[in-house]
Amino acid sequence: MKNKAVTIIYLLFTALFVIFPAACSKDAGNKQVKIQAVPVMVEVVRTESVPLKIKALGTVEAYSTVDVTPRATGEVTSVSFDEGDNVKEGQLLFTIDPAPYQTALEIAEANLMRDMAISKKAEGDFVRYDSLFIEKLVSRNDMEKMRTNADAAAATIVADRAAVEKAKLELGYCFIHSPASGRTGSLLVNKGNTVRANEGKPMVVINQIQPVYVSFSVPERNLSEIRRYMSSEMLNVGAFLSKEDKIPEQGILTFIDNSADASTGTIRMKASFENKELALWPGQFVDIAITLSTIGDALVLPSHALQTGQQGQFVFVIKDDTAELRPVSAGITHEGMTVIEDGLAEGEQVVTDGQMMLMPGAKVEIKNK
């Protein structure tokens, strides 16, 4: 009886071992069916023109900065602009009390008129004495004295004319005009203040911002490439005011420094912008993109389709609903798209999402058909 019970138990365990592996095998089979078709998103490799660019961080600089300083000493009687105004070259900015300088001019002009009268008399005396000398009615010494007096009077007139011109010049310094077109900064003197000539302290600072410069630095390894493209045409430079900015301000590369910075391995450059809308402001930081050239008919695909393995970069190409691992050679990236230099052909489908679940030869289900 005992042996019979043992036999029954053995048969039961044997049946269980037979049933469970079969069940497990069936479940595994079902799971295999589920993971065979991996859901993926794909995009077609296409051709388009891609700009070859070098990017950098730039700083906006005034095209020129002018310190307006007084050249006359006196009281400021009027200020003809407001802080932050846009002013034109030649526009009146300040007036310094002209009365003392006007008086000095009148004195100089009076001296000139007096000395002109003296000179006229001296010249007449010389002519008369010269005639008398010819007739031997006066001595040579008297005639020479009259000539000296006439020459001295003529020289005095020259000095007087110079004094008048100097007085006019100094009077003109009382009216300070803008030396350049631009935007004024803070007003550093006010009406009623006394200023001194050539003291060096500015009355206002004017920044010329139309056009405007953007200064930036690029790695020195890019210098030869930039110079090569610049030798055939002017290089366009775009200035992006923010990361969200899609339409940059357009300028032209106009300056390359004559030496590289050995401490940073970079070289300084400048681009000039017309800045018609005054979008660029001195001191502002902008993202710079120098367009060197345009690659025509380049093969491109979304940058996130690229994967990196031990052998380098690769993508999964879909053929007959099967994933094929394809090594590729990637070039430049522009606006989320990467140029593929080798490994793909136009029209091929490349996986852009779902690569983590793929292996070579895996079946796929394209979700964005």
| Domains located in the chain, CATH noted | 38-49+297-366 (2.40.420.20), 54-62+207-295 (2.40.30.170), 70-94+177-201 (2.40.50.100), 99-172 (1.10.287)
C-alpha separations of 168 from 67, 176, 198 in Å: 24, 14, 18
Q: How confident is the model over 230-282, as pLDDT tens digits? A: 888 899 999 999 888 888 999 999 999 999 999 999 999 999 999 999 999 99
pLDDT for 216 equals 97
pLDDT of 19 > 80? The answer is no
**pTM for the model:** 0.65
- What stretches of the chain adopt beta strand conformation (E)? 37-44, 46-68, 74-79, 86-87, 92-96, 175-177, 182-184, 194-195, 204-219, 236-240, 249-256, 266-273, 285-302, 307-309, 312-319, 322-327, 329-334, 337-342, 349-353, 363-366
Distances (CA, A) of 126 to 114, 132, 144, 153: 19, 10, 8, 11
Nearest to 114 by CA among 150, 156, 148, 155: 156
Residue 187 pLDDT exceeds 90: yes
Give kind and range of the element (H or E) at residue 122: helix 99-134
Mean pLDDT over the full length of the chain: 88
> Mean of the pLDDT values across residues 132-152?
91
Q: What's the rounded Cα separation, in Å, for the pair 369 and 360?
A: 21
